[in-house]
Amino acid sequence: MIGKRLIKGFNIGLISPSSPENPEKIKESINFLKSQGFNIKEGKFLYEKVGYLAGEDRERAQDFMDMFKDETIDMILCMRGGYGSMRILPLIDYEIIRSNPKIFVGYSDITSLLNTINSRCGLITFHGPMGNSNFNDVDTLNSFLTTLMNGYRPYKLLNPLGIDLTRNIIGKATGKIVGGNLSLITATLGTPYEIDTKNNILFMEDINEQPYVIDRMLTQLHLSGKLHQCSGFIIGQFTGCSLPNYEKSLTINEVMLDKILSLNKPTLSNFMCGHDYPNLTLPIGVKAEIDCHKGEINILEPVVK
């Protein structure tokens, strides 16, 4: 299931399903999106703040559902990540989403929504930049617009020129792309919203986590059987996950070698997607192939119509 491709003049619904954002930043984002030729509808509770949440759970869930129910809205964009999206998962009416398929974009904490919407509704979602992202980065903006406006046929997903995809384990793997932020992926384990990795390609990224924390999360995925079930892996950006010295620590590369590459499944790393720039737009739930001979990701079906 896919939403309509984005066209200039379409209406974008802007919501905050997780943490709050500075009102000035929200206005700045709205002005930028308008400058790109889109109309913006603000969620009723877009500016709310309750501690580290952008409003009460019911308010954030209401904004989320209202945008899917609103026939004038063509695309839904999250303002930012942070914390809180998992809290609204039980408050979502997935039948309404199935009946009103639309482009839905976010990353980081939004990972739980991206994967749950896809698994429950079959709707392809998008791990991509949000309202508070730096759209002045040309590659980030181009990937965002090209994917959502022109992704109505199969295409290749490549890093920007001059940034190679690292081919760690040679081979090819096919399956649905699932995943996103590693912290959110592991947080679903043991819940009704647990990520499905069986015969799928797992994408992972994270920010500001020490190597032992990454190790712990990957170990949890390993012990749950989730890593063994994957057909292959895409490793994105692990921003701020290094240390000044490693006298008492493994490096991120050593952790990945131990927990991921040891499985000997086709693996691409250094994919420019995550909490860094460029931040490429990656469809979640789409059938894809990773070709570790050529170092490319092949999206095998349309992601918009």
pLDDT digits (tens, 9 = 90+) for 97-142: 999 999 999 999 999 999 999 999 999 999 999 999 999 999 999 9
Provide the pLDDT confidence category of residue 238 given band limits of 50, 70 and 90.
very high
Q: Which strands, in side-by-side order, build the sheet including 155-157?
A: 155-157, 296-299, 287-291, 172-181, 201-207, 232-239, 267-269, 166-169
Residue 64 has pLDDT above 90, yes or no: yes
pLDDT for res 142: 97
pLDDT for res 55: 98
The amino acid occupying position 214 is: I
pLDDT digits (tens, 9 = 90+) for 196-218: 999 999 999 999 999 999 999 99
Q: What is the pTM of this model?
A: 0.97
Residue 247 has pLDDT above 90, yes or no: no
Catalytic (active-site) positions: 108, 205, 275
Q: CA separation (Å) from 76 to 73, 85, 194?
A: 7, 15, 23
Q: Span 13-29, mean pLDDT?
A: 98
Domains in the chain, start-ordered, CATH in brackets?
11-133 (3.40.50.10740), 155-299 (3.50.30.60)
pLDDT digits (tens, 9 = 90+) for 145-191: 999 999 999 999 999 999 999 999 999 999 999 999 999 999 999 99
